Amino acid sequence: MRVLVVEDERLLADAIAEWLRNDAHAVDLAYDGAAALDRVGVNDYDVVVLDRDLPLVHGDDVCREIVRDGTAARVLMLTAAAEVTDRVDGLGLGADDYLTKPFAFPELAARVHALGRRCRPAAPPTLHRAGITLDPARREVFRDGRYVPLARKEFAVLAELLRADGAVVSAEQLLEKAWDEHADPFTGAVRLTILELRRKLAEPPVVETVKGAGYRIP
């Protein structure tokens, strides 16, 4: 998934981003509310992890803008305020979930996964197609019962192809969902990742190239 982490405490923001990247998400960072609005305006995010107390533009206002624009992004609001009224206020702004600091990284990651499922059409937690089984929670892939060890980008690309349910996924879509905003749109990263994914999934070939359109798992 594509995730935006908005947190002005840079060490915490970087730690959250690294944890989510280890879960095979593409993660962008913003350290203030103004930068968050800039990124939301140009990128399609599945989940926004949003600190409430932000400089320049308050987190409440960022949340209002996201909701008002009608984007598909789900908002997980973070705050040090643990009172029930604070949680109610945050949810009343349109946030989809609320997590108080300090929090456990595994819980944050689980909430991001849950929100990501809500921003997509309903899909089973474990994905199956063409003899492939992918478990997002355990980060495990099997091909005809054989365990397939994948790097983070390979896992993310395979997950997007499986979620497409046989439809073609363009290289641009894969770049959007599996890489962050620093990815070069003219890079060969998607093609090289597909090649390595095919090698690891082994014979018979399962990832098809649709000329001029992208890739699919029929």
Residues 6+ apart with CB under 8 A from 96: 74, 75, 76, 115, 118
Most confident of 7-16, 91-100, 112-121, 171-180: 7-16
Q: Are 25 and 112 in contact (CB under 8 A)?
A: yes
Q: What is the pLDDT of residues 46-102, one digit of tens each?
A: 999 999 889 999 999 999 998 888 778 899 999 876 666 666 665 677 888 988 888
- The average pLDDT across 23-40 equals 92
What is residue 41's predicted lDDT score, i.e. its pLDDT? 87
What is residue 8's predicted lDDT score, i.e. its pLDDT? 94
Of the chain, the percentage scoring pLDDT greater than 70 comes to 89
Q: What is the pLDDT of residues 105-142, one digit of tens each?
A: 999 999 998 888 776 554 557 889 999 999 887 789 99
Report the candidate in 109, 105, 85, 87 with the shortest Cα–Cα distance to residue 96.
87
Q: Are 44 and 4 in contact (CB under 8 A)?
A: no
Q: What is the pLDDT of residues 183-197, one digit of tens each?
A: 666 668 889 999 999
pTM equals 0.61
Of the chain, the percentage scoring pLDDT greater than 90 comes to 51
Of the listed ranges 17-31, 35-49, 70-84, 139-153, the least confidently predicted one is 70-84
Strand blocks (E) in the chain: 2-6, 26-30, 47-51, 74-79, 97-100, 127-129, 132-135, 140-143, 146-147, 208-210, 214-216
What is residue 84's predicted lDDT score, i.e. its pLDDT? 62
